């Protein structure tokens, strides 16, 4: 299933999901109803009805929950939400969904979403940040090949600031590559950005999982 989604870009990070108690209950009821749906068409009707009767915040919260639960209905809900008048493309949700599709061997859909995002992002800053989110999403799911591809893309791009280093170091640590992460930490310091305790914590934990000690 190939998706065609028109990107309407919005400069924000994580989706705004400060839902009410009632909104959370509706999201969890949706997940329960989807689990009981016997046919894909029934699930589609449930999703369309849910979005039509829900606020933007509740709909986005439901999508975040489906993605975090690795639900096979995540893509369908994303498609429905993308057709609403209030939809604004979100790099965090897009990266999370792409990583889920990769994990579920839906390479065509994942590549379609990725290509749309890259072609729709016009500024180097936005593109850099999107690859940061991709590295984070892939590494969280331990998708080493995909994460390293995004890592290589990001390293080829001119970027400024400490955030790309933070995402790359964390990603390499999650992928079990602490030595590479430590080299990048040294590069970060050489570039004028003092590593924070968080980077050192990721390194210590990664070396600990590998049975080694931090070298620096």
pLDDT at residue 97 is higher than 60: yes
Homologous superfamily of 121-216: Tetratricopeptide repeat domain (1.25.40.10)
Separation of CA 4 from chain center: 19
Closest CA to 172 of 140, 214, 197, 194: 140
The pLDDT of residue 11 is above 60: no
CB 167, CB 134: distance < 8 Å: no
Contact 35, 1 (CB under 8 A): no
> In the prediction, which pLDDT does 216 show?
53
DSSP-derived letter for residue 72 is: T
Q: Give tens-digit pLDDT for 102-116.
A: 999 999 999 999 999
What ranges do the domains of the chain cover?
1-119, 121-216
Higher pLDDT, 191 or 159: 191
Confidence (pTM)? 0.84
Q: Which two tokens stand for residue 12?
A: 């924000």
């Amino acid at each position: 299933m190939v998706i065609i989604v028109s990107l309407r870009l919005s400069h924000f990070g994580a989706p705004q999901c400060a839902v009410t108690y009632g909104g959370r209950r509706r999201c969890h009821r949706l997940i329960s109803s989807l689990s009981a749906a016997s046919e894909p068409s029934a699930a589609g009707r449930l999703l369309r009805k849910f979005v039509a009767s829900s606020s933007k915040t509740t709909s986005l919260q439901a999508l975040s929950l489906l993605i975090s639960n690795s639900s096979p209905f995540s893509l369908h809900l994303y498609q429905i939400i993308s057709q609403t008048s209030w939809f604004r493309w979100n790099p965090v949700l897009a990266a999370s969904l792409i990583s889920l599709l990769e994990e579920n061997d839906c390479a065509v859909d994942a590549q379609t979403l990725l290509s749309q995002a890259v072609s729709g992002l016009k500024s180097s800053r936005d593109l850099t940040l999107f690859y940061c989110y991709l590295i984070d999403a892939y590494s969280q799911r331990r998708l080493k090949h995909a994460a390293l591809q995004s890592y290589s893309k990001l390293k080829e791009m001119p970027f400024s600031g400490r955030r790309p280093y933070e995402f790359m170091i964390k990603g390499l640590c999650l992928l079990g590559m602490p030595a590479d992460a430590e080299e990048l930490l040294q590069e970060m310091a050489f570039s004028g950005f003092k590593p924070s305790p968080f980077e050192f914590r990721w390194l210590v934990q990664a070396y600990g999982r590998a049975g080694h000690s931090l070298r620096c």
